[in-house]
Amino acid sequence: MSKAAGRIRAGIGGWTYEPWEETFYPADLPKKSQLNYASRQVTAIEINGTFYRLQKPDVFAKWRDDAPDDFVFSIKAPRYLTYRKVLSEAVPSVPKFLASGLSSLQHKLGPILWQLPPSLHFDAADIAKFLEALPHTLDDLPLRHVLEVRHKSFMDAAYVELARKHSVATVFAHTDEFPNFADVTGDFVYARLRKAEASESTGYSKPDLQAWSDRAKLWASGGAPTDLPYVTSTAPAKKPRDVFIFFINGAKERAPAAAKHLLTLV
């Protein structure tokens, strides 16, 4: 990878999934060693458990110690914060989540994913108030935020402009379930690929993974793929960007193979 490009990471959602005991983990691997193994096969993991309940600092510290030095965890913010009719009403509770132990991950703390419910419509004032409240540091660690918007009303140039103003990334979700767009709104790119198929040993076909590798390299060098949908025709300044690509849902049993193959291409 050129120094003029950001780091490309590929990973999976979580590490505890029973079918992976057949398709991913060695047969004799103890469950307690699954994170240690998984974190040496991919370069990032999106933690979903934090979506359902707060974790404790010692839990984050254990995860940190189980993973190799150059690994990162993306943290999915709790649903009690994001699944609201008025997102900005969550602002007073954001510090509690951030103080629950995330800094115990130290340099292995990756982006924080704020997933919005499909029912939440874009309201510029509401979204602006929420984005303004997201801090850029936590205990001297830099914080990176990414919003997953899932209602078609967010396909609005006003949203893109607002997210760019606050340097908050927007998930590109490869799915037919929700509207999606690839406008770069932050200083990194975050894609969630959800179309893996069980019939493909690598989830996505190898030609498809080559195409995602090409897109990832373009994003990392500051460019933008021309074969993805966009809301606006304006692009942010071209500069190196880190890229996170997670294989989520779809034929989840194939996600590790998809991530591992993608890593051989980038």
Q: What is the pLDDT of residue 249?
A: 84
Chain segment 76-118, per-residue pLDDT in tens: 999 999 999 999 999 999 999 999 999 999 999 999 999 999 9
Q: Degrees (nearest 5) of the Cα angle 203, 204, 206?
A: 115
Q: What is the pLDDT of residue 3?
A: 60
> For the CA atoms of 76, 80, 84, 88, what is the dihedral angle to 10 degrees?
-80
pTM: 0.96
Calculate the CA 26 to chain-centre distance. 26
Chain segment 18-60, per-residue pLDDT in tens: 999 999 999 999 999 999 999 999 999 999 999 999 999 999 9
CATH class held by domain 8-265 = alpha beta
Domains of the chain, by residue range, sit at: 8-265
The Cα–Cα gap between 130 and 43 comes to 30
Residue with tokens 């030609």: 207
CA dihedral for 71, 199, 201, 176, sign (positive or negative): negative
- The DSSP letter of residue 103 is G
